[in-house]
Amino acid sequence: MNILEVENLQVTDMNTGQIIVYNSSFHLKQGNCLAIVGESGSGKSVTCRSIMRLNKPWIHQSGDIFFKGENVNHLSEKEMRKKRGKNLCMILQNGMSAFDPSCVIGVHLRETLVAHFGWSNQEIETKMKKAMESVMLKNPIETMNKYPHQLSGGMLQRIMIALALVLEPDIMIADEPTTALDTISQFEVIEQFIQLRERMGCSMIFVSHDLGVVKKIADDVLVMKDGKIVERGDISTVFSKAEHEYTKYLVSTRLEVSNHFRKIMGRV
């Protein structure tokens, strides 16, 4: 069963007339992880923001986006706000941009959870403390009383994952969630995403340019280039029997980097 079906999604910059995404159609199966890969500017992030209806006002989207059979393109902004977070949850590539810099982290968490569940402060604190501990964040109460700039990128990503654990969304969209992190934090955050899938069984769209990470976490993959889907399929098939020249290039580049890394490590 498909939890999400995107049909003929076209995204245009109305200021320039440039088409950013060309007639994209794809689906996400219930409980599966779909990866969207491609270089910067290929349309990956714009596609995700279109699903969430979070593009800038001058970015126009057309086509149909069915979430559980309901066309979200036809919902009012008020109706869409109710879907964001509880049903469709997006984790951004830069944790700092996800939080209001003028408030401590706990204010953002409380506002989000009160809006969706109406819980008391005590309930929110208890649930967030448990979720933050489960993603290896120490001293959660103390952390909730800090401002975003006082925390590292890796910690902010984990806080967003912890919030997702509490929200229990139907679909999690992770847009390049490890880009702004160092190598150790990247590894730890990816492990948290894998555990999140196992624990919640939620469906996931995972956007990345790192094929190694994609291979580890995803079931199916879309390859995007210049706003178009050039290849799609299950992970093992696309990685081993790529048909499009661009996909072959991405896979071979990834292998070269891996082999180079292994050589370096072998010399140490």
For residue 208, give the nearest of 166, 250, 260 by alpha carbon: 250
CA atoms of 181 and 179, how far apart (whole Å): 6
| pLDDT score of 256 | 60
Sheet containing 2-13: order of strands: 19-29, 2-13, 59-67, 70-71
On the 0-12 / 13-18 / 19+ scale of CB atoms within 10 A, 157 is: buried
Contact yes or no for 140/133 (Cβ under 8 A): yes
DSSP code at position 204: E
Q: Which helix (H) or strand (E) holds 138?
A: none
Report pLDDT digits (tens) over 74-118: 999 999 998 998 899 998 777 777 888 999 999 999 999 999 999
CA atoms of 141 and 145, how far apart (whole Å): 7
Query: Which SS3 state, helix, strand or coil, does residue 202 take?
Result: coil
Mean pLDDT by 10 residues, the chain (268 residues): 96 96 96 92 93 94 96 94 91 80 94 93 95 89 95 88 89 84 76 80 88 87 96 92 90 65 51
Q: Token digits for 65?
A: 């986006």
Pairing state between β 203-208 and 171-175: parallel
Output the CA angle 168-3-130, nearest 5 degrees. 10
| pLDDT score of 33 | 95
Contact yes or no for 191/136 (Cβ under 8 A): no
Phi and psi at residue 260, in whole multiples of 5°? Answer: -60, -45
| pLDDT score of 214 | 87
| pLDDT score of 268 | 42
Q: Which helix (H) or strand (E) holds 200?
A: helix 183-200
CA atoms of 202 and 132, how far apart (whole Å): 18
User: Which residues is 59 bridged to in the sheet?
Assistant: 13
- Domain ranges in the chain are 2-267
Length of the chain: 268
| pLDDT score of 263 | 59
| pLDDT score of 252 | 83
Report pLDDT digits (tens) over 155-185: 898 898 889 889 989 999 999 887 767 777 7
Pairing state between β 220-225 and 228-234: antiparallel
Side-chain-side CA neighbours of 38 within 13 Å: the count stands at 24
Q: Which fold has domain 2-267?
A: Rossmann fold (3.40.50)
Spatial CB neighbours of 215, under 8 Å, sequence gap ≥ 6: 235, 239
| pLDDT score of 12 | 97
